[in-house]
Amino acid sequence: VMSLTDQFVKRLGTYSPDLLDESGQMPDYREQVREVITPKFAADFDKEVATAEQLVAQGGITRTADVFATAVSSVDDDSARVLVAGAFTDSYQQGEGKQARTVDQEPLPFRFTVDLVMIEGEWLVDDFTPVSSPDEPGASEGSTP
């Protein structure tokens, strides 16, 4: 479950303009994420993926996900909850031609709770939720691990 959680976060949080097709979608990105999630979660993912595709198409955004740590919070025969901490790093192209340069943003730390379920003998991600720390009410994706 920890390995699958690591894969899920890296697949979900890693994309770039070279994944765009002629229609402005990222079919390979969609497929990579769908391979590790439940059909129920895929329906939600399909609604949200257009936002990432729009950022990539309009802003030339490249995002990479680094996972620092995973830990099993709970596990039984058919469900598990895993905590994961890491950072997303975004970059974008600025300028054209020889003047073009890549601008790297500061890494954005994240902490998620990832829920997994066993379906036909295979662990799949069923949902994930940003985690906030007790001293930061309302803190979410951008909170410090």
pLDDT band of residue 135 (cuts 50, 70, 90) is low
Residues 6+ apart with CB under 8 A from 33: 8, 11, 12, 45, 49
What confidence tier does 122 reach under pLDDT thresholds 50, 70, 90?
very high
Both tokens of 67, joined, read 């996972």
| pLDDT reported for residue 133 | 64
What tokens were used for 117?
A: 């379920």
pLDDT at 145: 37
Mean pLDDT for the stretch of residues 123-133 = 91
List, for residues 85-106, the tens digit of each pLDDT value: 999 999 987 777 777 777 889 9
Which residue, 105, 7, 15, 5, is CA-closest to 52? 15
Question: What confidence tier does 141 reach under pLDDT thresholds 50, 70, 90?
Answer: very low
Which range has highest mean pLDDT (49-58, 71-80, 97-106)? 71-80
